[in-house]
Amino acid sequence: MALAHLPKRKFDVVIVGAGGSGMRASLQLARAGLNVAVLSKVFPTRSHTVAAQGGIGASLGNMSEDNWHFHFYDTVKGSDWLGDQDAIEFMCREAPKVVYELEHFGMPFDRNPDGTIYQRPFGGHTANYGEKPVQRACAAADRTGHAMLHTLYQQNVKARTNFFVEWMALDLIRDADGDVLGVTALEMETGEVHVLQAKCTLFATGGAGRIYAASTNAFINTGDGLGMAARAGVPLQDMEFWQFHPTGVHNAGVLLTEGCRGEGAILRNANGERFMERYAPTLKDLAPRDFVSRCMDQEIKEGRGCGPNKDYINLDMTHLGGETILKRLPSVYEIGHNFANVDITKEPIPVVPTIHYQMGGIPTNIHGQVVVPKGDKPNEVVNGFYAVGECSCVSVHGANRLGTNSLLDLLVFGRAAGNHIVASALASRNHKDLPADAADRSLERLARLEASTSGEYAQDVANDIRKTMQQHAGVFRTQAVMDEGVTKIAAIAERVKAIGLKDKSKVFNTARIEALEVDNLIEAAQATIVSAAARHESRGAHTVNDYGDTPQHPNGRNDEEWLKHTLWFSEGSRLQYKPVNLKPLSVDSVPPKVRSF
Ligand SMILES: Cc1cc2nc3c(=O)[nH]c(=O)nc-3n(C[C@H](O)[C@H](O)[C@H](O)COP(=O)(O)OP(=O)(O)OC[C@H]3O[C@@H](n4cnc5c(N)ncnc54)[C@H](O)[C@@H]3O)c2cc1C
């Protein structure tokens, strides 16, 4: 079916994704009177943001002395200097404002006796530039994301945002000038393809944590935004950096928030030893995640893992007392029962580092505008295209994100992108004409599935991607293991093209949707493994034994050659690099040094 026969709709702005970042942006736009469509594969309040537990970072200083300079310093150091310091300054300075705004939207934060927002300590959050832990994580028990997503949804309903629920965006529409003119999308209920035309298109599609086998991420986190951008010629930035969260439930993958350790939980090895004291004398269990994950792996590797197979670490909360646990960590208590058969008030719970968050994504500037290299300019704006939230890379998280900085990133950059779009006076502009081939890429992908009479199941291919990524891009990597991973993923990419679809029915055909998702998984997986194998150093979450194999890897980071961002292009699986911005907006730069905690 050619473009002329497809149903079409026009909006000022189309947002793909109704998580925290998409709904923060849409709220800004709908309130300004723009005609906004928000697409989501699931009902908005089921987006992965709902699963966020621990908190939102902001230097409110409600419970211990804090200011945005400390937050800025921690974030730069946490990022292992790969974060752009202008973006980090912007985020940390905006933090108190967006949190108070959220409070005024009706967010049910926990409260201190004096009525101020409750804040808990978190990994890598310090006062006086690393001297001591600080209380910066604004929390609603251990259901912060849940409270935040519902608050934003209610505000959007009030502002009359148009939601397209159970609509899956398939591909980005770009014209010959490279401008973005909207998306093609599949209405799941009918199986029909639509063209959604827009003056601005904003991606807020979340992470791609499902490229790994053991993941804390929701099943819908298949990196669709990354796949759509990559297929349309937009590079993906810093995809080699994936965060392993130290405390996923052993054998289940479900997350136990860092808020547990914020409230005082302790990691112990088979000897009952609080081993983090040895590795990080100041921050102990609250060192940043990349660091703690490596220390746990090291303990297991050296034979001090717990259990019959010595393959996990114990997270001990028994000393916190039932009352604190039920008040501050009620979901963690339930997760202990449901996923580990453990009463965490009475016994420790088995945990292992589990894939959690992608630091990389679609490159943007601090207004959320997508930027790509053109000639000798590294950051040229793609007209009409924005990205915010976990699918984007602005880059505030660099090589390792600090806990609570993601929910903050959603609010700060969702709002900033919304404001930037409002300021661009869309009402006075017309929609650009669609190119004749606007829907071709999507229609070809669907036709391939329709025509298939044999071929592999999408699930089998997806599982092989996950298994391969788990084995070849883990907590500790070696050059040989990554190189082998590149070859294996390239071979799986060929199999993706030959996936077959047995059930050709239209209505709510989840098999077709899963097959389409695999096209996105493979782009994210390829970007990750190719970028990883090419980075010959250890930095943040990318730790390669060949380049320094201690948990701290002080000698593994190579700033002379590798203090730069990776850009991966899908076409030819090509890599390019661009400089890190070490210049903040107003303060002095934090120069690179060895990370110790
Ligand atoms: C278990 C867990 C706990 C966490 N806890 C914290 C925490 O305490 N603090 C913190 O700062 N961070 C935390 N994080 C990280 C943080 O929650 C996420 O990074 C963040 O919520 C992502 O938000 P988002 O808006 O980018 O995307 P999401 O909330 O993931 O939403 C993505 C949206 O995109 C839609 N979508 C995707 N593809 C398509 C498509 N093709 N078509 C249409 N719609 C599409 C989805 O339907 C969804 O609406 C946690 C993450 C996890 C997994």
- Choose one of 16, 42, 47 to mutate for the ligand 1 pocket test, by most ligand atoms within 8 angstroms of C-beta: 47
Q: Are residues 157 and 85 in the same domain?
A: yes
CA of 221 to the centre of ligand 1 (A): 8
Tell me what pLDDT residue 594 has.
Answer: 86
For ligand 1, atom 49, the nearest C-alpha belongs to 18
Closest-CA residue to 413 (of 390, 435, 436): 390
Only one residue has tokens 């992608």, namely 358
**Domain membership flag for residue 329:** yes
**Domain membership flag for residue 444:** yes
CA of 326 to the centre of ligand 1 (A): 26
Q: Is the CB of 201 under 6 A from ligand 1?
A: no
Q: Are residues 310 and 392 in the same domain?
A: no
- Two tokens at 303? 């034979």
**Domain membership flag for residue 588:** no
Q: Is the CB of 96 under 6 A from ligand 1?
A: no
- Of 373, 407, 428, which closes a domain? 428
Q: Are residues 319 and 372 in the same domain?
A: no
- Choose one of 23, 47, 48 to mutate for the ligand 1 pocket test, by most ligand atoms within 8 angstroms of C-beta: 48
Q: Is the CB of 389 under 6 A from ligand 1?
A: yes
Q: Is the CB of 358 under 6 A from ligand 1?
A: no
Q: Is the CB of 123 under 6 A from ligand 1?
A: no
Q: Are residues 291 and 160 in the same domain?
A: no
Tell me what pLDDT residue 550 has.
Answer: 63
Ligand 1: atom nearest CA of 168 is 42
Positive or negative CA dihedral for 487, 493, 499, 505? positive
Tell me what pLDDT residue 428 has.
Answer: 87
Q: Where are the alpha helices (DSSP H) in 36-187?
A: 68-78, 85-105, 144-158
The b/e string for 310-345 (b: 16+ C-beta within 10 A; e otherwise) is eebbbbbbbebeeeebeebbebbbebbeebbebebb
**Domain membership flag for residue 587:** no
Tell me what pLDDT residue 166 has.
Answer: 98
Cβ(242)–Cβ(229) below 8 Å: no
Q: Are residues 107 and 225 in the same domain?
A: yes
Q: Are residues 93 and 43 in the same domain?
A: yes
Judge if the upstream peptide bond of residue 596 is cis by omega within 30 degrees of 0: no
Instruction: Give the whole-angstrom CA distance, residue 9 versus residue 195.
Output: 6
339: domain CATH number is 3.90.700.10
For ligand 1, atom 4, the nearest C-alpha belongs to 52
Closest-CA residue to 392 (of 592, 382, 503): 382
Total structural domains within the chain: 3
Q: Is the CB of 55 under 6 A from ligand 1?
A: yes
DSSP of 167-222: EEEEEEEE-TT--EEEEEEEETTTTEEEEEEEEEEEE-----GGGSSSBSS-TT-S
In this structure, what is the dihedral angle of CA atoms 490, 352, 475, 366, given to the nearest 10 degrees?
90
Q: Is the CB of 402 under 6 A from ligand 1?
A: no
What residue numbers bound the domain in which 391 lies?
Answer: 8-242+358-428
For ligand 1, atom 20, the nearest C-alpha belongs to 49
- For the chain, how many residues are written? 597
Q: Are residues 180 and 271 in the same domain?
A: no
Q: Are residues 45 and 148 in the same domain?
A: yes
Q: What are the residue ranges in the chain where pLDDT is below 50? A: none
Closest-CA residue to 570 (of 244, 242, 243, 223): 223
Q: Are residues 174 and 213 in the same domain?
A: yes
**Domain membership flag for residue 585:** no
477: domain CATH number is 1.20.58.100
Q: Are residues 401 and 305 in the same domain?
A: no
Q: Is the CB of 23 under 6 A from ligand 1?
A: no
- Choose one of 39, 46, 205 to mutate for the ligand 1 pocket test, by most ligand atoms within 8 angstroms of C-beta: 205
Tell me what pLDDT residue 2 has.
Answer: 79
For 422-464, give the secondary structure using H, E and C: HHCCHHHCCCCCCCCCCCHHHHHHHHHHHHCCCCECHHHHHHH
Please pick, among 120, 136, 289, 595, the residue that the annotation labels catalytic: 289
Q: Which amino acid is at 299?
A: E
Positive or negative CA dihedral for 384, 389, 391, 392? positive
Ligand 1: atom nearest CA of 54 is 8
Ligand 1: atom nearest CA of 169 is 42
Q: Is the CB of 255 under 6 A from ligand 1?
A: yes
Q: Is the CB of 144 under 6 A from ligand 1?
A: yes
- Of 354, 384, 413, which closes a domain? 354
Tell me what pLDDT residue 372 has.
Answer: 98
**Domain membership flag for residue 570:** yes
**pLDDT, the chain, mean:** 96
Other Cβ atoms within 10 Å of 370 Cβ, number = 25
For ligand 1, atom 33, the nearest C-alpha belongs to 17
Residue 120 annotated as catalytic: no
Q: Are residues 104 and 234 in the same domain?
A: yes
Q: Is the CB of 407 under 6 A from ligand 1?
A: yes
Helix axes 68-78, 85-105, angle to 10 degrees: 120
CA of 22 to the centre of ligand 1 (A): 10
- Of 297, 326, 354, which closes a domain? 354
**Domain membership flag for residue 198:** yes
**Domain membership flag for residue 140:** yes
Q: Are residues 93 and 224 in the same domain?
A: yes
CA of 596 to the centre of ligand 1 (A): 30
Q: Which amino acid is at 366?
A: I
Question: What residues does 362 pair with on adjacent strands?
Answer: 392
